[in-house]
Amino acid sequence: MRAADRERLIVDEAIRFFAERGFEGQTRELAKRMGIAHSVIYRHFPSKEALIERVYQDVYLSRWSQDWGPLIRDRSQPLQARLTSFYLDYVARVFEYNWVRIFVFSGLKSFGIAGRYLDLVRREIIEPAAIELRHELALPDAQTVPLGGCETEMFWGLHGRIFYLAIRKFVYGTPVPSDLDQTVRDAIVLFMDGARLALPRLLQDGASKNTS
């Protein structure tokens, strides 16, 4: 077997293995599961950490769309429409057994995958969406009044609400709505209705505290 093909097999099986067993699973167990010598894995990956990094590249970065950031910043359509398009695509791409479980195991074992991915979400989705909400409501921009933690937390709340559907399905094994697309749309409608009312008050309260 060609070295590239063997490496691909190791990565694919490692993804399934870590999703099922978590990162406490040993490469020796992985080799036994594959029916290969333990040393074969280390011919392709010098350490378990290197294999985990490759899993991160394959599972997470390969599913991140470069269109998502520009979509959130596209002022030719209302923010609600942009959020809906993003989250419908996000759910379609990442609501998958291996993706969700590896993400959760990573957070528990501090391998850095979850933190790095969430930093990407923050930079490309959460903070830009908070800026866009201000623009849509004709509120001061982030250069005039820096984004506050309460603003980004609103969007993390929306993100968490939607991602929790995947946790329920792939971690807890409990039922989720059969029509996830409609559930996502409903969540965004409710979020935007509340955010339009809350954000002006939050900024006003922040300004009052700064001047008192």
Q: Which fold has domain 3-58?
A: Arc Repressor Mutant, subunit A (1.10.10)
Q: What SS3 class is residue 148?
A: coil
Which residue's structure tokens are 């807890």? 172
What's the Rg (C-alpha) of the chain? Answer: 21
* Predicted confidence band of residue 25 (pLDDT cuts 50, 70, 90): confident
Rounded to the nearest integer, the mean pLDDT of the chain is: 92
pLDDT for the residue 133: 98
d(CA 13, CA 107): 21
* Predicted confidence band of residue 110 (pLDDT cuts 50, 70, 90): low
pLDDT for the residue 76: 98
Domain ranges of the chain: 3-58, 60-211
d(CA 83, CA 184): 10
Q: How far is CA 189 from CA 1, 58, 131, 158, 181, in A?
A: 52, 33, 18, 11, 13
pLDDT for residue 211 is more than 80: no
Q: What is the widest separation between alpha-carbon atoms in the chain?
A: 72
Which residue's structure tokens are 């350490």? 47
Tell me the backbone φ, ψ of residue 160, rounded to 5 degrees. Answer: -65, -35
**pLDDT single digits (tens) 157-209:** 999 999 999 999 999 999 999 999 999 999 999 999 999 999 999 888 766 56
Q: What SS3 class is residue 20?
A: helix
What is the pTM assigned to this prediction?
Answer: 0.86
Please check whether residue 14 is in contact with residue 55, taking contact to mean a CB–CB distance below 8 angstroms: yes
pLDDT for the residue 91: 97
What lies within 8 Å, CB to CB, of 29 at 6+ separation is 17, 21
Q: What SS3 class is residue 177?
A: coil
Structure tokens at 146: 């820096």
pLDDT for the residue 40: 94
pLDDT for the residue 107: 81
**pLDDT single digits (tens) 48-99:** 989 988 988 888 888 899 999 999 999 999 999 999 999 999 999 999 999 9
Which one, of 70, 60, 50, 62, lies nearest residue 7 by Cα? 50
Percentage, residues of the chain above pLDDT 90: 75
